[in-house]
Structure 1
């Protein structure tokens, strides 16, 4: 495997549920340790200029209680901001998005080492969860965590859309989907349910070019 594909193994994943006012929410948790100072990780996740270099351009009133918008992606409100340790935002799509929040937790593990946690809590449409399971959002977050890690080391994927069509990206995505299937099964999902979710998630994010030349990046 390539150095990038190997990084799929650097992420710890958990799947669970949590009661919220809107009903029972599904949770996906990613944890990764970066060889970077906690302040640097915090700045990379909160400085608009840096966010645009490893994730997406962001605009809005980027203060506690303000609203943000990621270009071509989610928008929401900044619900908690406790530098340099915790950031929680609503993570919304469309006019009636339901309940969805993302929380980042940043914990120093020495002067140049940081434990980074990302938890996504959402009331997912049953038809989506039944088909894709946690990989529906988990694979996307794995790619995001990969991008952050490259940025913290001074690197980047120059053309993410082109890269996602590469064999390297397909290998990363396939292994990411499999890891989320394992986390899903560990949370109590029957093996056949987890396997079906892995197949659907992998087919969406990394369709076989021999049978489906389109990619999620083209949608």
Structure 2
């Protein structure tokens, strides 16, 4: 099964953002816990360890990657239960991301924003974030986790096609 991509590239004053959204029939505090508590992030992304807090660095393990090594992740902003901004550096460069949550009538919208230093990487990272957000949905619903093959390379052209838009 090939998944339908939803992410959008958005031009900003500082460059380009990749924005992906998922909606949950759950209170904001419950969704916040799914993206911030290690035992819950382990179900869809990977665990983390360390002393969490704004301005601090924790270690995260992306267990669904080819080489699930622990990596440093800096918490740039933490405003429970509505905003978490993090950053990390790896071989591909600097990754700056935000999770923005908003609740309306018992439904919570989660928006993942990656501030792209190089927009041309969107063909590779866009499908990855679609995959991880769908992993979050599946984990929260106690459903079978999707396979990355359902996202990449099938979604690559969708994201690259937004570069010219």
- TM-score between both structures, scaled by the size of structure 1: 0.62
- Asked whether the 8 Å contact 2:27–2:108 carries over to 1, the reply is yes
CA distance in 2, matches of 1:110, 1:38: 10
- Asked whether the 8 Å contact 1:75–1:93 carries over to 2, the reply is no
Aligned to 1:100: 95
Q: How far off its partner does 1:156 sit?
A: 4.5
Say how many residue pairs are matched: 158
Go from structure 1 to structure 2 and tell me whether the alpha carbon gap of 1:12 and 1:93 turns closer, same or farther (over 3 Å shift). same
Task: Name the structure with the higher helix share.
Answer: 1
**C-alpha offsets along residues 49-78 of structure 1, whole Å, 9 cap, x if unaligned?**
111111112122211111122222653211
Greater relative contact order (Cα < 8 A, sep 6+)? 2
Q: How far off its partner does 1:136 sit?
A: 1.5
Q: Which runs of 5+ in 1 are unaligned?
A: 158-162, 189-219
- Asked whether the 8 Å contact 2:88–2:95 carries over to 1, the reply is yes
SS of 1:53's partner is coil
- TM-score between both structures, scaled by the size of structure 2: 0.80
- Higher CA-based Rg: 1
Aligned to 2:117: 123
Q: Which runs of 5+ in 2 are unaligned?
A: 62-68
